[in-house]
């Protein structure tokens, strides 16, 4: 199977699907225009043999960005204080462009054809919601719970979107860049 032909077919069939400008190195990467295209694209790829869901994860791009979309200067120059909402970050550094988004990443693999494709989707940092893939791949169950737990992205349609790794009393989502630890009983 020709992977690039298949991806062209996918882009023709599902509108709003484009080759990503930034690739996950060495792998074909598609960018989704909006969350609405995720389920049609994933089911199209599943029909075509991409039956194995390899990873689900996300990156928090809170920070001043370069033209390619990567944070500039390594780290946030004026980090947010504990009480400030994430959306306050751009106002604190008005001179630099910000990209207050979560970039979600899915990897689907075709076991027989030895091919894999990455899908990515940007969602706003405020109230991030994306459709759940649990209806198509059961492997999405825990990986979506992990992404929810560590980054606070909600997956609509997930049957049991509960915390999985962090303890019940932990507030916030540790892998967000503006995560601030609230002292609990285990801190001295």
Partner 1 sequence: MTNKEVLHDETPDTSPEKAPAFSGGKFDQLFVNLGPQHPSTHGVLRVGLTIEGEVITKAEPDIGYLHRGTCKLAEARGYHQCVVLTDRWDYVSAMPNNLALCLAAEKLLGAEIPARAQHLRVIMCELNRIASHLLFVGTYGIDLGALTPFLHVFREREMILDLYEMLCGARLTYNYIRIGGVMSDVSPEWAAKTREFLGFFKPRLKEYDDLLSFNPIFLARAEGVGIVSKETAIDWGLSGPNLRGSGVPYDVRKSDPYSGYEKFDFEVPLGKTGSCWDRYYCRVLEMVQSARIVEQALDALPAGDLTAKGVAKTPKPPPGEAYAHVEASRGDLGIYLVSDGGPAPYRLHVRAPSFVNLAILQEMLVGRKVADVIAVLGSIDIVLGETDR
Nearer of residues 44 and 179 to partner 1, judged by Cβ: 179
Nearer of residues 2 and 36 to partner 1, judged by Cβ: 2
CA distance 27 to 10: 16
CA distance 65 to 5: 33
CB of 50 to partner 1, least distance (A): 11
Nearer of residues 24 and 88 to partner 1, judged by Cβ: 24
CA distance 59 to 48: 28
Give the residues lining the site for partner 1 (CB under 8 A).
Answer: 22, 24-27, 51-55, 57, 59-60, 63, 66, 68, 70-71, 74-75, 105, 107, 111, 114, 116, 118, 137-139, 141-143, 146, 150, 163-167, 174-175, 179
The DSSP 8-state label assigned to residue 88 in this structure reads G
Nearer of residues 94 and 167 to partner 1, judged by Cβ: 167
CB of 12 to partner 1, least distance (A): 26
CA distance 59 to 147: 10
CB of 25 to partner 1, least distance (A): 4
**Is the distance from CB of 80 to CB of 89 less than 8 angstroms?**
yes
**Is the distance from CB of 106 to CB of 42 less than 8 angstroms?**
yes
CB of 108 to partner 1, least distance (A): 11
CA distance 55 to 84: 32
């Amino acid at each position: 199977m020709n992977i690039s032909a298949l991806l062209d077919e996918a882009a023709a069939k599902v509108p709003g699907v484009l080759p990503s400008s930034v690739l996950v190195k060495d792998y074909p990467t598609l960018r989704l225009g909006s969350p609405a295209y995720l389920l049609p694209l994933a089911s199209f790829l599943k029909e075509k043999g991409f039956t194995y869901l390899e990873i689900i994860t996300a990156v928090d791009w809170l920070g001043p960005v370069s033209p390619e979309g990567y944070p500039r200067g390594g780290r946030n120059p004026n980090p947010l204080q504990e009480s400030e909402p994430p959306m306050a970050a751009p106002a604190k550094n008005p001179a630099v462009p910000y990209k207050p988004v979560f970039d979600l990443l899915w990897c689907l693999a075709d076991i027989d054809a030895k091919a894999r494709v990455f899908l990515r989707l940007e969602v706003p940092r405020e109230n991030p919601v994306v459709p759940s893939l649990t209806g198509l791949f059961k492997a999405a169950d825990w990986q979506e719970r992990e992404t929810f737990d560590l980054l606070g992205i909600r997956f609509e349609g997930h049957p049991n979107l509960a915390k999985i790794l962090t303890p019940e009393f932990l507030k916030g989502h540790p892998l967000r860049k503006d995560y601030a630890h609230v002292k609990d009983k285990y801190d001295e």
